[in-house]
Amino acid sequence: MTIATPASTIAIRRRRQPATPYLLLLPAVLILLVGLGYPVYWQVVTSLQEYGMMQQFGAPPTFAGLDNYARIFSDERLLPVVTRSLIFCLVNAFLTVAIGLGLALLMKAVHGAVRITMQVVLLLAWATPLVAAVTVFRWLFDYRAGVVNWLLVQIGLDQYQGYAWLAQPLTFFVVATLVIVWMSVPFVAMSLYAGLTQVSEEVLEAARLDGASPAQILRHILLPLVRPVLAIVLLLQIIWDLRVFAQIRLLQDAGAPISETNLLGNFIYELGIGSQDFSGAAAVSIFVLLLTVLLAAPYVRSLMKEDAA
């Protein structure tokens, strides 16, 4: 073992400094270029090309400008899909955050044992793999032997005898919302609860001594203090709920009308994998990617602040 003197170490470090970080980044950059960079590039190029059946059989693609975009955005199937996706996304995101906030406040208010029970149960739901969760909900809402229909009939709602939830678009989305809210609330509740525990007991005690009611403490102290977390969590939820694909795909297997229950991700899947319209699928994908980047900008900005700190 050679022991470098401090002086020579500094000299070595200074000489190496420019190259080392780039070498360390190289593997990550390469894998990102291969796994994501090239697909994005391909998508941009393909969305500008005529890529039909001829090209499937080897003919070189021809440049088509924005034809694909024009074609897809005038496609009568797209507007309902986009509208549906946006409504579904917003309803789910706000519902999730509202319930999550409620649970976080409840956890802050209740006794230790109840709080731990709630935390364990939330972790349980959080940890359940997506496919298993959706499968369980299909079973809960099974039209023949599902426990939900049984319960509804028990409380006197006889019309739910053998009711097929997943066969109608509206009730289909009710079930989809329940799955997604069930799965997503734990993250929101835990993040907000962590934010709430940052509020110091002294501040709350001082407010109480000054005679503030619980409602006032909530409105004037707790909510303003968790607002940054609340904003981030809501934004993430909107971004995540916009890309819902797997849950819908898995629920559609139960016999739902596909074209009336497709969201954006499912539409892309159907265009690309289903009908081999790669330029069309690429055009919609670019639209989704741009929308995501746009929505993600405030979140990324807040993270960059953390990086600078």
The first and second tokens of residue 137, run together, are: 């909900």
Tokens 């934010």 correspond to 195
Of 249, 251, 256, 261, the one binding another protein (CB under 8 A) is 249
Q: Which of positions 141-180 make contact with another protein (CB under 8 A)?
A: 142, 144-145, 147, 150
Of 11, 59, 246, 258, the one binding another protein (CB under 8 A) is 246
- Angle, helices 78-109/223-242, rounded to nearest 10 degrees: 150
Q: Which of positions 91-150 make contact with another protein (CB under 8 A)?
A: 103, 106-107, 109-111, 114-115, 117-118, 120-133, 135-140, 142, 144-145, 147, 150
Q: Which of positions 218-237 make contact with another protein (CB under 8 A)?
A: none
Task: Compose the 264-303 pattern: x for residues touching another protein by CB under 8 A, - for all others.
Answer: xx--xx-xxx----x--xx--xx-xx--xx--x--xx--x
- Residue 60 per-residue DSSP state: P
Q: What's the Cα-to-Cα distance from 118 to each of 93, 133, 134, 178, 191, rounded to whole Å?
A: 21, 19, 22, 18, 14
* Interacting span for another protein (CB under 8 A) from 11-19, 57-65, 90-98, 195-203: 11-19
* Interacting span for another protein (CB under 8 A) from 9-17, 67-75, 167-175, 222-230: 9-17
Of 76, 158, 202, 307, the one binding another protein (CB under 8 A) is 307
Rounded Cα distance between 61 and 66, Å, is 14
Alpha helix positions (H), the chain: 6-16, 19-32, 38-47, 53-56, 67-73, 78-109, 112-127, 130-140, 147-154, 169-197, 201-209, 214-217, 223-242, 246-252, 258-261, 264-269, 278-308
The first and second tokens of residue 90, run together, are: 């917003």
In the complex, the smallest distance separating the C-beta of residue 298 from another protein, rounded to whole angstroms, is 11
The reply on whether position 85 binds another protein by CB under 8 A is no
The reply on whether position 187 binds another protein by CB under 8 A is no
Tokens 């956890």 correspond to 107
User: Around 141, how many Cα atoms within 13 Å sit in the side-chain half-sphere?
Assistant: 21
Of 214, 224, 257, 298, the one binding another protein (CB under 8 A) is 214
In the complex, the smallest distance separating the C-beta of residue 20 from another protein, rounded to whole angstroms, is 7
Task: Compose the 43-72 pattern: x for residues touching another protein by CB under 8 A, - for all others.
Answer: x--x--------------------------
In the complex, the smallest distance separating the C-beta of residue 170 from another protein, rounded to whole angstroms, is 22
Rounded Cα distance between 38 and 34, Å, is 6
Between 228 and 255, whose beta carbon lies closer to another protein?
255
Q: How many residues belong to the site for another protein (CB under 8 A)?
A: 103
| Amino acid symbol at 152 | L
Give yes or no for a contact between 227 and 45, defined as CB atoms under 8 angstroms apart: no
Between 94 and 126, whose beta carbon lies closer to another protein?
126
Q: Say how far residue 104 (Cα) sits from the centre of its chain.
A: 20
* Interacting span for another protein (CB under 8 A) from 19-27, 64-72, 86-94, 169-177: 19-27
The reply on whether position 21 binds another protein by CB under 8 A is yes
- How many other C-beta atoms can be found within 10 angstroms of the C-beta atom of residue 44? 14
